[in-house]
């Protein structure tokens, strides 16, 4: 299965960096969700991408969105990563890659690396935008903010 724009985002429950379970349905009707899948904590590309989300965090909150990062790292690894780079958002631990498979996130680099894909999900749970790029880290943030602005202006 591969999630497409216009689909209802599949619900999930995974542990966060604090060990607390987080479900997509917790945000339904309340906030848009920027769900970004990344390969691994504390690697150069993933750090650049996560810090780009951190640096624009205020813009995401102003746009009525919550940012959630997902990788196969453990909650303890996420906790260290978040503390080291002052990441103010949720990091979820998808240790067996079930969520990655559920969303159909493709592998990159000849299937050796988990892919880097961002999903923008509106308050109703509809996937409004999908961005897939292993190397253009900042574009994940730019594309997400652009989509959230479009969602906001359509709601006015």
Which pLDDT score is estimated for 104? 92
Q: Binning pLDDT at 50, 70 and 90, where does residue 113 land?
A: confident
- What range defines the domain where residue 36 resides? 13-155
What is the separation of C-alpha 3 from the centre of its chain, rounded to a whole number of angstroms? 14
Residue 49 belongs to domain with CATH number: 3.40.30.10
Euclidean distance between CA atoms 120 and 41, whole angstroms: 21
Domain count, the chain: 1
Q: Which of 22, 46, 127, 148 is catalytic?
A: 46
7 within a domain of the structure (yes/no): no
pTM: 0.94
In-domain check, residue 8? no
In a domain, 60, yes or no: yes
| DSSP-derived 3-state class of residue 26 | helix
C-alpha span between 81 and 76 (Å, rounded): 9
Check if the beta carbon of residue 27 is closer than 8 Å to that of residue 61: no
Confidence grade of residue 111 (pLDDT, cut at 50, 70, 90): low
**Which pair of tokens denotes residue 14?**
């995974």
Residue range 3-24, pLDDT digits in tens: 999 999 999 999 999 999 999 9
Identify whether 132 is part of a domain.
yes
Query: For a pLDDT cut of 90, what percent of the chain falls above it?
Result: 83
Is the pLDDT at 112 greater than 90? The verdict is no
Alpha carbon 54 to chain centroid distance? 12
Domain presence at residue 77:
yes
Q: Is 46 a catalytic residue?
A: yes
């Amino acid at each position: 299965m591969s999630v497409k724009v216009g689909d209802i985002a599949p619900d999930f429950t995974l542990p966060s960096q604090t060990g607390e379970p987080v479900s997509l349905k917790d945000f339904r009707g309340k906030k848009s969700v920027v769900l970004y899948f990344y390969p691994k904590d504390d690697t150069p590309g993933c750090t650049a991408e996560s810090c780009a989300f951190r640096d624009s965090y205020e813009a995401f909150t102003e746009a009525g969105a919550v940012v959630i990062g997902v990788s196969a790292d453990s909650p303890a690894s996420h906790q260290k990563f978040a503390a080291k780079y002052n990441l103010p958002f949720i990091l979820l631990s998808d240790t067996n890659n079930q969520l990655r498979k559920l969303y159909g996130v493709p592998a990159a680099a000849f299937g050796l690396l988990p892919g880097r894909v961002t999903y923008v999900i509106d308050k109703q749970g509809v996937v409004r935008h999908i961005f897939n790029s292993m190397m253009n880290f900042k574009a994940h943030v730019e594309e997400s903010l652009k989509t959230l602005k479009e969602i906001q202006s359509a709601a006015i």
